Chain A
């Protein structure tokens, strides 16, 4: 009996080539540890990526891996799952790869509900091509291609996923392994397309763009870790989100003395798409950033439906020699 694999066993002999201090290091480490923790089998695990900094990820995971072309990883992964539905497939993408050039494929892999995990490393910038603004860059982002500030409205990845019909949406922060690891595990356990947005710090081109909520000192005030069946509380339970039935929006309220009773706080229901919508589109100003599993509503997967609808459920039962003779055949003496 082999000893259980450790995080180290999931590292490759390749020298990791991200910039020193890049958030990708933390995600990689967290993933390697998660792999060991969940007892992943390297032979049955595949990391598929597109192009970009994040897409180097497969080279550093001692599993099967495919570094493909820009934006198309979801399509390769879909074909791979058709070939072998038993594989555990992780798609690694970024905000440029997944939401700009590959937006179409991300949309379709989600709406088909292919049974795989999609990790979108969002750093709100193009890193590998040296700092151009991306589809998630905030308005006014100054970059080599937007010297006077970007004018394109940024896309909210989670809301995009929800709109595409995602049945699992979660969020984590690169350097917060304690909170990210359970999100990765939940994504892996989910039967269907699991979409995870990871806030990732590009220290060269978009340093500290998430500082308003990732800073450890202020995290209690700026983050809200959602849990199914629990009230949406933050700041050590002194604040919470209350549904304003007049505006159909979430208000921040003080809880307890001088504020509202805890029973007024909205209970998180991860199967409720309306709550997910509100959490995924919370204003950035003044509101805490919702993290954790925001939406989880399992349904039939593409993998299962595909083979259920296949004429012979994927089994070869016929002979070409017989198929040739279907219909009108005549003999020439």
Chain B
């Protein structure tokens, strides 16, 4: 395995240490510097499940991974090329993830008998041969940091806190980055703690100088990562959770209605609530309910009251909301249900990612209770997906599932800021006007309230407080015309069919399924949905460069499916479907399209590696299929 070379098109860097080592701050600032340097990147934090795990233990290791390059970057990277490990536990946990030959910067000050014992390491790994084949650079980072900070008179423990800045300084040198923007950020961030500020700046500069002047420069390669080809425009870094929160606020703005977001804390969905709680000025109000059920019910109550009710959770919480979701469907009220999926079943793997709530969203309710379901493909896409989910909910007067997951929620990358002018307003079905005395003709009111738009089947959105429209709704079966309670057999048949047709009608409003890479027919298409988008994109892109005629199709709309999807998919000889579950979308396609796919299922709690997808494409590629003459791109 070769060394990392300066001409690498992309590099994966991973920072790992104790929860208290400031690894996330280090990673975020390196990402910021990467953004300013014009490279593309994708980041993913890997937190321990424990809030404050004991220092030095393997289960207390916190990591931050960034994939950066002078080309389009679509995932946080398969195998790190560079690891910065602050202690033995961080090395132990992360070594198996690394590419063979990777560069490892070790804080040797932490390589003590005491820390080996905490990490259950018997022999110093530097002496066992297990690091053979890697470029290991020993640096006494803690000592170096203390030396640099000593003149400032900080306590030893405070001084040592700055070692993440020391490492940041060294890494900035490795990538030829300017320190100025980081210094500026640091000055703002620690303005109220001048001593810590001075310590951090001293450490940053010392790390940079150390890497530059030490003879290490022979050992530490410098990476030259150029600017990535990105469209002109304004960019910022955004996580999926924040983009989703902003997207909901944008939906409220486009609908000119306030968002009432009702939720209950759960991993990994809580950050959406946290972000929205600070967006009050955008017409957003957040309510932390007593439980998941109440959160959903309060959101429905808000929708009944004429505001856009939104609830959010992860799989176990969604299960609790299920009965209420059925009511919103039956009462024909808009509701957006955000599911930040995590590893399951039951409590499962709360901090790990999975796409295993698709059945729950599409099929998981009592009785025939069809609902629209859409999925977001990545952090920035959460913004658009939230707007689209709200648009469908309001237009068709129905609950809509918006599926995201733990990976998308926490992953981040550069995001081209959308222009709000590009979005169509979200229009609701206007309340009816009743002529004459409202109280004398109750049936006329009822008929007007339930007169559904013929194309969307959405009913007018009336709300208490509107004059002359007082009426009652509920979960009992209602007469199709008047909304009165009805136990009539034919009516129930008609209502059941109406509810199914309403979801089908969504397909009349959504775009045809497009092909993101490749042709509209051919030997192989890779179909995906949700957060597998980035890994599939890179896999298909790379394999097309090798001459394989492979297409990428990524689904946003899962219920209903785009009308052309069946025809499109049947024009490929083989369809491969990678998903982070045991085959739920594969079942859906078999159910709705009668289509058999080649399944690639992964439920390890980790996102797909590009290589895993590439391997399956190669295995499945028909031997006789033609190769592309010219490399793509």
Interface residues of A (CB under 8 A from B): 9, 12-14, 42-46, 48, 58-59, 61-69, 72, 74-84, 86-87, 104-105, 107-108, 306, 310-312, 314, 316-321, 323-325, 327-333
Instruction: State whether the Cβ of B282 lies closer than 8 Å to any Cβ in chain A.
Output: yes
Which residue from chain B places its CB closest to the CB of A43 in the assembled complex?
B467
**Is A72 a contact partner of B236 (Cβ separation < 8 A)?**
no
B472 nearest CB neighbor, chain A only: A65
- Residues of A contacting B133 in the complex (Cβ-Cβ under 8 angstroms): none
Cβ-defined partner of B298 (8 Å) among A14, A82, A333:
A82
Main secondary structure of the interface of B (DSSP, over half): mixed
B473 touches A75 (CB 8 A): no
| B297, A69: Cβ atoms closer than 8 Å | yes
A320 to B280, CA, bound (A): 11
Does any Cβ of A come within 8 Å of B36's Cβ? Answer: yes
B293 close to A75 (CB less than 8 A): yes
**Cα A316 to Cα B308 with chains together (Å):** 14
Of the candidates A66, A68, A323, A333, the one whose C-beta lies within 8 Å of that of B232 is A333
Q: Which residues of B contact A316 (CB under 8 A)?
A: 253, 258, 281-283
Cα A320 to Cα B278 with chains together (Å) = 13
Cβ A75 vs Cβ B301 within 8 A: yes
Among the 9-residue stretches B107-115, B160-168, B284-292, the one with 4 or more Cβ atoms under 8 Å from chain A is: B284-292
Residues of B within 8 A of A314 (CB): 258, 285
| Residue in contact with B472 in the complex, picked from A58, A306, A318, CB distance below 8 Å | A58
Q: A59-B474, A78-B301 are in contact. Are A332 and B233 (CB under 8 A)?
A: yes
Shortest beta-carbon distance, B393 to chain A, in Å? 15
Is A72 a contact partner of B246 (Cβ separation < 8 A)?
no
The reply to whether B294 and A72 form a contact with Cβ atoms under 8 Å apart is yes
Taking a contact as CB atoms under 8 Å apart, the answer to whether B474 and A68 are in contact is yes
- Chain A residues lying within 8 Å of B283, measured Cβ to Cβ, are 316
**For chain B residues 396-453, which have a beta carbon within 8 Å of chain A?**
417-420, 439, 442-443
> Of B298, B420, B472, which is in contact with the most chain A CB atoms at under 10 Å from its CB?
B472
CB contact under 8 A between A311 and B298, given known A67-B474, A108-B290, A324-B417: no
A311 to B278, CA, bound (A): 8
By DSSP majority rule, is chain A's interface helix, strand, loop, or mixed?
Answer: mixed
Q: Are B260 and A62 in contact (CB under 8 A)?
A: no
- 24 A-B residue pairs with Cβ-Cβ distance under 8 Å, sorted by A, are A9-B439, A13-B442, A13-B443, A43-B465, A43-B470, A65-B473, A66-B472, A75-B294, A75-B295, A75-B297, A78-B289, A80-B301, A82-B287, A83-B304, A83-B305, A104-B290, A105-B294, A105-B297, A107-B290, A316-B281, A321-B420, A325-B234, A328-B185, A331-B233
The CA-CA distance from A7 to B3 in the complex, in Å, is 88
Residue of B234, B246, B474 near A331 (CB, 8 A) is: B234
Residues of the B chain whose Cβ atoms lie less than 8 Å from the Cβ of A65 = 471-474
Most buried by B among A58, A72, A311: A72
B147 close to chain A: CB less than 8 A: no
Residues of A within 8 A of B298 (CB): 75-76, 78-79, 82
Residues of chain A contacted by B287 (CB below 8 angstroms): 78-79, 82, 306
Q: Which residues of B contact A81 (CB under 8 A)?
A: 301, 305
Check if B484 sits within 8 Å of A14, measured CB to CB. Answer: yes
Contacts of B473 in A (CB 8 A): 65-67
Which B75-111 residues have C-beta < 8 A from chain A?
A: none
The answer to whether A79 and B323 touch across the interface, beta carbons within 8 angstroms, is no
Check A12/B301 contact, CB under 8 A, given A320-B246, A330-B35: no
Residues in B whose Cβ lies below 8 Å from that of A310: 280, 285
Name the B residues within 8 Å of A82 (CB-CB).
260, 285, 287, 298, 301-302, 305, 307
Q: Decide if B260 touches A76 in the complex (CB within 8 Å).
A: no
A71, closest chain B residue (CB): B293
Q: Which residues of A contact B174 (CB under 8 A)?
A: none
If A68-B297, A327-B236, A332-B235 touch, does A83 touch B281 (CB 8 Å cutoff)? no
Determine if A312 and B281 form an interchain contact, defined as CB atoms under 8 angstroms apart: yes
Cβ B250 vs Cβ A320 within 8 A:
yes
Cβ B464 vs Cβ A87 within 8 A: yes
B256 to chain A: closest residue by CB: A316
Cross-chain contact B305 with A87 (CB below 8 angstroms): yes
Contacts of A69 in B (CB 8 A): 297, 323-324, 327, 475
Interface size on B, residues (CB 8 A): 73
Closest to B251 in A: A320
Interface 1/0s, chain B 290-330, versus A by CB < 8 A?
11011101111111111101000000000000011001000
Cβ contacts under 8 Å, B290 to chain A: 75, 104-105, 107-108
B231 adjacent to chain A (CB < 8 Å): yes
Cβ A325 vs Cβ B236 within 8 A? yes
> What CA separation (Å) do A74 and B473 show in the bound complex?
16
Partner of A66, one of B234, B304, B485: B304
The CA of A235 and the CA of B467, in the complex, are separated in Å by 48
**Interface assignment of B191: CB less than 8 Å from any CB of chain A:** no
Residues of B contacting A86 in the complex (Cβ-Cβ under 8 angstroms): 465
Q: Which residues 175-200 of B sit at the A interface, judged by CB distance below 8 A?
A: 185
- Per the bound structure, the CA–CA distance linking A106 and B524 in Å amounts to 57
Which residue among B290, B417, B468 has the maximum number of chain A CB atoms within 10 Å of its CB? B290
In the bound complex, residues from chain B placing their C-beta under 8 Å from that of A68 are 297, 300, 324, 327, 474-475
From A330, A331, A333, residue with most partner B Cβ within 10 Å: A330
Give the distance in Å from the alpha carbon of A330 to the alpha carbon of B237 in the complex.
9
Chain B residue contacts of A9, Cβ below 8 A: 439
- A165 to B472 Cα, complex, angstroms: 31
- Complex Cα distance, B330 from A66, in Å, reads 12
In contact, B233 and A58 (Cβ under 8 angstroms): no
Contact A72/B250 with A43-B469, A62-B470, A65-B472 known, Cβ cut-off 8 Å: no
Tell whether A318 pairs with B281 under 8 Å between CB atoms, given A62-B470, A80-B301, A84-B463: yes
The answer to whether A84 touches B465 (Cβ under 8 A) is yes
Which of A42, A43, A332 is the most central at the interface, judged by chain B CB atoms within 10 Å of its CB?
A332
- Within 8 Å of chain A (Cβ to Cβ): is B466? yes
Output the residue of B32, B443, B485 with the most chain A CB within 10 A: B485
Say whether B595 faces chain A, with CB atoms less than 8 Å apart. Answer: no
* B302 x A79 contact (CB < 8 A): yes
Does chain A have a CB within 8 A of B249?
yes
Complex formed: what's the CA distance from A63 to B438 in Å?
12
How far, in angstroms, from A61 to B301 measured CA to CA in the complex? 19
A contact residues around B494 at 8 Å (CB): none
Docked Cα-Cα span, A59 to B482, in Å, equals 13
* The 7 residue pairs across chains A and B that have the minimum distance between CB atoms: A83-B305, A79-B301, A67-B474, A311-B280, A79-B298, A318-B281, A75-B297
Q: A64 CA to B431 CA in the complex, in Å?
A: 15
B522 within 8 A of A: no
Please state if B464 and A43 are interface contacts (CB–CB under 8 Å): yes
B300 touches A329 (CB 8 A): no
- Does B152 lie at the interface of the complex (its beta carbon under 8 Å from any beta carbon of A)? no
- What's the Cα separation between A318 and B36 when bound, in Å? 27
Chain B residue contacts of A331, Cβ below 8 A: 233-235
| A84 closest partner in B (C-beta) | B305
Cα A256 to Cα B306 in complex, Å, equals 60
With A316-B282, A318-B281 as contacts: A79 and B470 at CB distance below 8 Å: no
Tell me, in angstroms, the Cα distance from A96 to B309 when the chains sit together.
28
> How far does the alpha carbon of A121 sit from the alpha carbon of B232 in the complex, in Å?
65
Task: Please give, as numbers and ranges, the residues of chain B lying within 8 Å of A58 by CB-CB distance.
Answer: 472, 474
Closest chain-B Cβ to A47's Cβ sits at a distance in Å of: 8
Q: Is the CB of B442 within 8 A of A12?
A: yes
- B63 on the A face (CB < 8 A): no
Interface core residue of B301, B309, B471, B476 (most chain A CB under 10 Å): B301
Residues of B within 8 A of A87 (CB): 305, 464-465
